[in-house]
Amino acid sequence: MRRALLLSLALPLLLATCKTSPYTGRKQLHLFSESQMNEMGAQAYVEMTSSSSVKLITDATYFGPLQEVGGAIAQAANKPSFKWEFKLIDDPETVNAWCLPGGKIAFYTAIYPVLVDTNGMAIVMGHEVMHALLEHGNERMSQSTFANGILAASSIALSSNQYHDQIIGLIGAGATIGVLLPYSRKHESEADEQGLYLAAKAGYDPEAGIQVWERMAKLSEGARPPEFLSTHPDPRNRIKNMQKWMPKAKQLYAQSQRKTNRKLAIPPGVK
Ligand SMILES: [Zn+2]
């Protein structure tokens, strides 16, 4: 009886809040609106990049390539609702990069030797940006909200505007964690494939994807596996898949009007 009631509540809710991704054609559960997610992303971005312990690098030698690749990726992404921002965090120990909902991007200086050049940077940025464009954060948060209680979920979904402030308030505190939880294997694979195409469209050689993941794999064999691999496992598997997607990526690259590449200068303190 109880189960039947829950199901009768849940089914229309699920149908009403499923959205088909324009990139993959896959149906995703979305209990939050895009603007809610972007607001959370913006809030978490401030939290994560403006504390006194975070040192940002604005020197054009190191930050310039990030702005350049970011501009090209943003243009290829063609997403007017995103308010793109790029920051380079001075951290010679943390091999990491991420993009929060709404296009809020950070790279850590320690990832530069893995990227090597702007081609490599575009591959990683393409991947991270695709998590945001594919709304993986929304899906992941929706799934956990749904699992945490159908009634709570329905109140969010059915009166999203009325509850907007409360939701943002509730989630705001945990936004940093909420938007940075590890993604599922499916999400990783989608971001790898679409990210490769996005980088190629932006004018960066998709072949660099193989090399970046080979260098990442080598790092993972060392004494201290990079931070990036705690959220992005299995570099060897990714390489195999990338080879499958390469013909389409190469075609997009060939069609791109602006093909550029330049070596990255290694930031101070980075080995
Ligand atoms: Zn990822």
**Structure tokens given for 56:** 């940002």
Q: Is the pLDDT of residue 8 over 60?
A: no
Give the Å distance between the CA of 178 and the centre of ligand 1. Answer: 15
Give the Å distance between the CA of 242 and the centre of ligand 1. Answer: 14
pLDDT tens figures, 144-199: 766 665 445 545 555 555 555 555 455 544 444 455 567 788 899 999 999 999 99
- Cα separation, 121 vs 13, in Å, equals 40
Residue 247's pLDDT is 98
CB 170 within 8 A of CB 222: no
Model confidence, pTM: 0.83
Indicate the angle between helix axes 34-49 and 164-172, nearest 10 degrees.
30
- Cα separation, 146 vs 38, in Å, equals 20
Residue 148's pLDDT is 61
Residue 9's pLDDT is 55
Catalytic residue among 128, 135, 190, 193: 128
β pairing state of 97-100 and 104-108: antiparallel
pLDDT tens figures, 67-90: 999 999 999 999 999 999 999 999
Active site residue 128: yes
CB 107 within 8 A of CB 88: yes
Domain chopping of the chain, boundaries? 30-255
Give the Å distance between the CA of 126 and the centre of ligand 1. Answer: 10
- Cα separation, 174 vs 188, in Å, equals 22
Give the Å distance between the CA of 229 and the centre of ligand 1. Answer: 9
